[in-house]
Amino acid sequence: MTQRPSNHSARDAAVRIVQVLREHGHAAYLAGGCVRDALLGLTPKDYDVATDALPDHVRELFRNSRFVGEAFGVVLVRQFSREVEVATFRTESNYEDGRRPSHVEFTDAEHDAKRRDFTINGLFEDPLAADPAAAIIDYVGGRADLKARLLRAIGDADARFAEDYLRMLRAARFASRFGFTIDEKTGRAIRLHAHKLGQISRERIGVEVQLMLTAPTRGAAAQLIRDLHLDAPALTEVHRETPLETVSSLVSDASYAAALTAWMIDRHAPIETPSPASTHATLLPEVRHFLGKEAAATLRRWRKALCLSNDEQGRVHAILALLSVVLEWPALRVAHRKRAMASHVWDDSLAVLRAMGDRPGVARLVHQIDRDAVPLLKEGIAPKPWITGDDLIEMGLKPGPVFKRLLIDAYDAQLEHAITSRREAVAWVESHR
């Protein structure tokens, strides 16, 4: 069933749900991230409602609803054409080895606040409060920490991370996203438990890393991950103290694949490391060395560690390969420059190269590429080929290595204007077969 777009905001939808629950005698509040974001002056991504109504009752009160996390007491309610998660106040227990709770119990607002991870995530808001000053319900000191820009675990930090090691990565995510300082005890507890992050499923780790690396604050996130020693368990490799200039210098809307590549270069091809290749004074010897020797194995490791999709790992692979080509730009013939520019990861690769701008020679290379690219783009970097495989077959050629070579060479000749029509292309093939 299609519905007309509604004029109500996501907040309106959540507030309406709170109202209905209230009218039926229940406690109900806006909860968690949306309260935090609003207090920070940011627009919340979504609004969650927390209530003492039991899940079955929530289902009855809202006909347009369904269970999404029945075991956790979460119901998705459709209101004003928007979906709002309505969760019953709960406590969680029996964490098995620092992973997800195996048991939940329904409870009151205070206990629900206290089972949450960080004080800034443990706030409730009563949107129907007559006195706006009394609208925020704070059982955990979240408001003071928001003011002080502090990320602090609720309760005993040690115990809270031992319950769920993923919270360590979430700490890096929230602190980097808001530019908050991590409270001292909280930070100490993370460093203490960091090596146990590997007990968490690779999928959940991957989700957190992706959220961090696709945010404009990815540089701060990578630094926190390094400084908290979460890099080793997150990436299943040794801890590295390398500078993180590349990932920190990426354009803010860089793709996940570009961010992963930049981070990889920072970690595995740091500028200080004199590499074997640096004996001959080429541009970026440390990066060339990495691309030639370790990149493939590192990507295989990261793919598993972060549960990268085929698409993401393919993109990173392509960026790494294209970077090797781009480093040779001054020596590339026109056809090869055009082929590079037509790649689906050209923009990603250039973004990574630009982000290495503090390394010797990069600024000059980028400048040359930018200059050379203008006329090439104007000519067209990926024209329709004059000659295709079908044409060659019609001309009596058989598919194979020679056939393939002819196609490549004919297209290169076209890209360089040695062939300017189909007739010339046919003649070219006849004289080269």
Contact residues toward ligand ATP (CB under 6 A) are: 32-33, 45, 116-117, 121-122, 164, 166-167
Q: How far is the CB of 307 from ligand ATP (least distance, A)?
A: 17
H-helix segments, 295-421: 295-305, 310-326, 334-341, 346-355, 362-379, 389-394, 401-415
Q: Are 108 and 137 in contact (CB under 8 A)?
A: no
- In this complex, which beta carbon is closest to ligand ATP, that of residue 122 or of residue 285? 122
Helix (H, G, I), strand (E, B) or coil at 53: coil
Q: Is 122 a binder of Mg ion (CB under 5 A)?
A: no
- In this complex, which beta carbon is closest to ligand ATP, that of residue 154 or of residue 265? 154
Among ligand ATP, Mg ion, none, the one that 127 touches (CB under a kind-dependent 5 to 8 A) is none
In the numeric block, which tokens belong to residue 107? 């409870």
Among ligand ATP, Mg ion, none, the one that 167 touches (CB under a kind-dependent 5 to 8 A) is ligand ATP
Q: How far is the CB of 271 from ligand ATP (least distance, A)?
A: 33
Name the residue among 99, 8, 87 with its Cα closest to residue 55. 87
Q: How far is the CB of 215 from ligand ATP (least distance, A)?
A: 10
What is the DSSP code (8-state) at residue 138? E
Among Mg ion, ligand ATP, none, the one that 219 touches (CB under a kind-dependent 5 to 8 A) is none
- In this complex, which beta carbon is closest to ligand ATP, that of residue 52 or of residue 117? 117
* C-alpha–C-alpha distance, residues 106 and 48, integer Å: 17
Q: How far is the CB of 116 from ligand ATP (least distance, A)?
A: 3
The owner of tokens 């602190």 is 175
* C-alpha–C-alpha distance, residues 64 and 61, integer Å: 9
- In this complex, which beta carbon is closest to ligand ATP, that of residue 104 or of residue 376? 104
What is the DSSP code (8-state) at residue 417? T
Cα 204 off chain centre by: 12
Q: Which residues pair with 181 in a beta bridge?
A: 150
Stretch that binds Mg ion, among 33-41, 84-92, 140-148, 423-431 (CB under 5 A): 33-41
The owner of tokens 């295709």 is 388
Among ligand ATP, Mg ion, none, the one that 285 touches (CB under a kind-dependent 5 to 8 A) is none
Contacting residue, 33, 73, 127, 187, with Mg ion by CB under 5 A: 33
β-bridge pairing 48-51 and 82-88: parallel
- In this complex, which beta carbon is closest to Mg ion, that of residue 142 or of residue 187? 142
* C-alpha–C-alpha distance, residues 61 and 107, integer Å: 20
- In this complex, which beta carbon is closest to Mg ion, that of residue 48 or of residue 145? 48
* C-alpha–C-alpha distance, residues 46 and 33, integer Å: 8
- In this complex, which beta carbon is closest to ligand ATP, that of residue 117 or of residue 348? 117
Among Mg ion, ligand ATP, none, the one that 210 touches (CB under a kind-dependent 5 to 8 A) is none
Residue nearest ligand ATP (C-beta atom):
33
* C-alpha–C-alpha distance, residues 431 and 209, integer Å: 55
Q: How far is the CB of 400 from Mg ion (least distance, A)?
A: 56
> Which positions lie near Mg ion, rule CB under 5 A?
33
